[in-house]
Structure 1
């Protein structure tokens, strides 16, 4: 059954009038990626599409009923020569959980199918707009060999203008950026066109991405390039992407998994590996080994680790600031019990830590060194600063130096365990026997 898509028709005879269009076979539309900011209830009522104004907007509405950022997007869509524009606040019925629940799952198709995405990097909210420059570019006319030439006085800085912009710190935008085939970035003092593995700047410079992380981000058919990357490069990119996504901003924490679901589904289909709560089965051991970032504050930790929205304790998605480790050579543990069940739980083997005569030295509220006869035999990183009793560990992998990488767990009723930290330890200090359990 064809899916109904709603877009804004900007190509009518009257440039001041727009209308919503329902269609099942639309091609050649532009999608807008933008920051909502903190709109008031009055602004939402005025600018958003709601149940109350939806039917009226199908017949037509004034461009003045849109904020400046949206009006700028209309201007660019027309300048590109396209007639249709998709904006989430206008094309999805707002303040309607049923419509949002349906449309939020189709974001992957919206951005991957668009002719082009407009990225309003310069606009921090709806009303700011993105076409007015702080310092307009100056084009200088010169002559060489009798031919007229133009030189642009503006300089480019793609990393700061785009990659580190406020817009690209938003969780939803990561998916939008990866899945878009081509993007027009409107930064405060420069405009960029990203397509393939190249970025063209308005000063006629072309940037070519190195064959590292950016190479995969600029894939117009993402994640096709990942299939040719090999295990290590693919893992490196996925860990980098998840680290960036974990700390990206979300207005509603309940959107943590939804905001990347389309991207993960596409990767799952191409890689051919099941993905549960952001963890691919083929990279299970490496994606379980994450720790809360050393730079995170106690207040930020208090806001993390929230599992009320169905995120298990073992998923990196349960925290906002994480780092994956180790970076050096890693050998999977010879344990075949680490697997997902029908309820997305991990069936694991629980080992005891034999640390009775050891001394634990705190190197911070979450970093602990374990010593035995003045020799460091382990170090643990706790997920929170709260004191929790270690009731066992799950062996995930080892290094060539015979140090085991483990998840620290505490037991809850009925042989069920929750993760509360991670660490590495000399193998002599892990029990030889184990018991079965479920990590939730």
Structure 2
């Protein structure tokens, strides 16, 4: 039998290190298994291979990839940052050079030879990798091995990028078999043609042993520990992968859950749990019967296989564990959807099908020769085999799974997950996301992530805004699911912000929540209100934290001073009833005088009467019906009715100089022009709208005071920098819709075109 890799020791003599070949499983001091290394195939070296002169001059050797104790290296310090490998077009010609081939594989299949008329060249530098002692600072590591990082740029300087163009920070390092050290940790491991599930089970043992309660406690998104969803979801069912049937979940069962993309599969062609078959599917063997097995999508069948391989008995999959036609109000389907966060948060592990476009894509590597991706390893010289260490995130661009709204929520609540992507499986938990098949990390030194997390910062609006920003850019098959697929995160936001969402916006921060923007043209989603991100297809950016502060406490205080609108929502189109969107618990207009929306004294800011704030009782005719705001305890119609300042400005081509800050906005940068012809502000608008409306006068409504950028001196509450934030609107009969946002200096309010600023009632849909 091949001998086992030795256990790493704190003290060792570098002169005694020798190259290791494969070995059988051993254990480290904590009992964690160290899988054997596969033997290196003799066919790795190709006939006619030889290093080119450029690559020979690099003088690569196995020892150069090791950080020796005598190096006394405490932190990563890149060296030789200007190792030029030449032009891409020339490197491609040197197909006989194994290192040139490896560099091209590492940079990605879409590496161009020319960009902006300039040839692309490749440069490389040495860097280090090693254990991360503090998961809260993942950018800090203890150097243990060296890696080569090639990167491409335009000749003469200038980086470039784009979707799917290059891999993210590619790394090349030594094959673990050739490591001249007792430790193989962080070096490359050869892959078999099928996943070694003994290795995967070992990861789970490592997580439980090394991370302890950090990964067994509830996910951050949950408001409580929950080991038994059946206590809150009476209809909770699971697949019994031993008896191959669907059963009511046993008390406190340990189960896996599948997160996958359904895709464009005809539901009538596959097996789903329906009212008329639910009893039949509970019979042992029902799922492997002749009439049912082939109708189960391949990804679900593979997930059942994985569940068994992990030593678990139960699996939850939506299409089989939720009765699909029990969707009426109060039905079991709606119960499950509303508690989806609990289903994923209580699972022992989530199986993520990150590959493919539908439920028949399967899980790569589960079965022999199903990986679909070859490992990039080359033999430069006998005993010197190098390989590309891909990051699983390199496969996210173009992966359907990571574009879907439902799967985003499922990821947020998972404590542990196995991600099947890029031809292999990656283990993620609350402490790490880098345990994968092709890298050795089972030794004691790789136990990064064992440090306790710092206390959660609860005074951070960025957590809420980050969820909305990510979720709003994802796709959804059924428009009616826009809030359902966000249900679990709504519960989190309600708890963290102590606010309800009104069609996706936090009611207790309503004025500033309305100030979201888009960096690229969006398509109107007519089944939700235009004033919310939910009314548009495409990513929205609610960057309150960026222009003001992350502090929830500071935001609450500032809103009281910087707002004036009393927000009401109509209950229904055919009703005259309206309700306040939100109100402070101690709100009162007497005896100390009128109060604003947040309970502060009303300021005398406009030179005209602004005392009218109650909506006029009226019914709307032919108004659209929006998706029900299901998770709001007092849902309205989605039509806001309120009073504010209305102004008219001319919109035309901007003549002011643009200040570059943050990511690029691909809308048209339109100028807002006042009565003296001066540009007083800008608004980013859809190119089609601009083309049809250039050089015309348009109505804006003042929303609140806000900032365009954060104060340089950090004094965000000082008066300089505060502007009037405005919404450009268009009327559709009795109600208006949002077009875009803009801002003007407060003193430029007098620049409004005739009849000047007026106090006006608005119905906004």
Shorter-chain TM range is: 0.7 to 0.9
Q: In structure 1, what is the equivalent of residue 684 of structure 2?
A: 381
Give me the whole-angstrom Cα distance separating, in 2, the residues matched to 1:421 and 1:244: 20
Give the alignment partner of residue 305 of structure 1, picking from 509, 524, 536. 524
Q: Secondary structure at the match of 1:172?
A: helix
Per-residue deviation, residues 149-191 of structure 1 (Å, max 9, x unmatched): xx99562313223586321211001110001111111112332
- Superposed counterparts of 1:415-426, under 5 Å: 417-426=736-745
Query: Contact conserved, 2:392 with 2:421, CA < 8 A, in 1?
Result: no
Q: In structure 1, what is the equivalent of residue 323 of structure 2?
A: 93
Give me the whole-angstrom Cα distance separating, in 1, the residues matched to 2:246 and 2:645: 60
Per-residue deviation, residues 90-147 of structure 1 (Å, max 9, x unmatched): 112335543543432221221111111000112332222113212466999xxxxxxx
- Superposed counterparts of 1:7-18, under 5 Å: 7-12=238-243, 18=244
Structure 1 residues 139 and 96, CA gap change in structure 2 (3 angstroms): farther
Q: How many residues align?
A: 394
Give me the whole-angstrom Cα distance separating, in 1, the residues matched to 2:261 and 2:361: 10
Query: Contact conserved, 2:639 with 2:764, CA < 8 A, in 1?
Result: yes
What is the Cα deviation at residue 312 of structure 1?
2.0
Larger radius of gyration: 2
Q: Secondary structure at the match of 2:644?
A: strand
Query: Contact conserved, 1:273 with 1:282, CA < 8 A, in 2?
Result: yes
- Superposed counterparts of 1:398-409, under 5 Å: 398-399=706-707, 400-409=720-729
Query: Contact conserved, 2:511 with 2:563, CA < 8 A, in 1?
Result: no
Q: Secondary structure at the match of 2:541?
A: strand
What is the Cα deviation at residue 87 of structure 1?
0.7
How much is the aligned-residue C-alpha RMSD, in angstroms? Answer: 3.5
Q: Which protein is richer in helix relative to its size?
A: 1
Q: In structure 1, what is the equivalent of residue 643 of structure 2?
A: 349
Query: Contact conserved, 1:32 with 1:85, CA < 8 A, in 2?
Result: yes
Query: Contact conserved, 1:292 with 1:383, CA < 8 A, in 2?
Result: no
Structure 1 residues 88 and 139, CA gap change in structure 2 (3 angstroms): farther
What is the Cα deviation at residue 360 of structure 1?
2.5
Give me the whole-angstrom Cα distance separating, in 2, the residues matched to 1:287 and 1:25: 42
Give me the whole-angstrom Cα distance separating, in 2, the residues matched to 1:325 and 1:406: 16
Q: In structure 1, what is the equivalent of residue 264 of structure 2?
A: 38
Query: Contact conserved, 1:4 with 1:24, CA < 8 A, in 2?
Result: no
* TM-score, structure 1 as length reference: 0.77
Q: In structure 2, what is the equivalent of residue 147 of structure 1?
A: none
Task: Check if 1:371 corresponds to 2:589.
Answer: no
Q: Secondary structure at the match of 1:82?
A: coil
What is the Cα deviation at residue 417 of structure 1?
4.2
Query: Contact conserved, 2:339 with 2:487, CA < 8 A, in 1?
Result: no
Structure 2: 5+ residue runs without aligned partners? 1-230, 379-384, 550-557, 568-579, 583-633, 656-665, 708-719, 750-755
What is the Cα deviation at residue 24 of structure 1?
6.7
Q: Which protein is richer in strand relative to its size?
A: 1
Structure 1: 5+ residue runs without aligned partners? 13-17, 141-150, 210-218
Query: Contact conserved, 2:530 with 2:536, CA < 8 A, in 1?
Result: no
Q: Secondary structure at the match of 1:254?
A: helix
Give me the whole-angstrom Cα distance separating, in 2, the residues matched to 1:401 and 1:138: 53
Query: Contact conserved, 1:366 with 1:385, CA < 8 A, in 2?
Result: no
Give the alignment partner of residue 79 of structure 1, picking from 297, 304, 309. 309
Q: Secondary structure at the match of 2:389?
A: coil
Q: In structure 2, what is the equivalent of residue 148 of structure 1?
A: none
Structure 1 residues 278 and 164, CA gap change in structure 2 (3 angstroms): farther
Give me the whole-angstrom Cα distance separating, in 1, the residues matched to 2:386 and 2:303: 24
Q: In structure 1, what is the equivalent of residue 617 of structure 2?
A: none
Q: In structure 2, what is the equivalent of residue 434 of structure 1?
A: 759
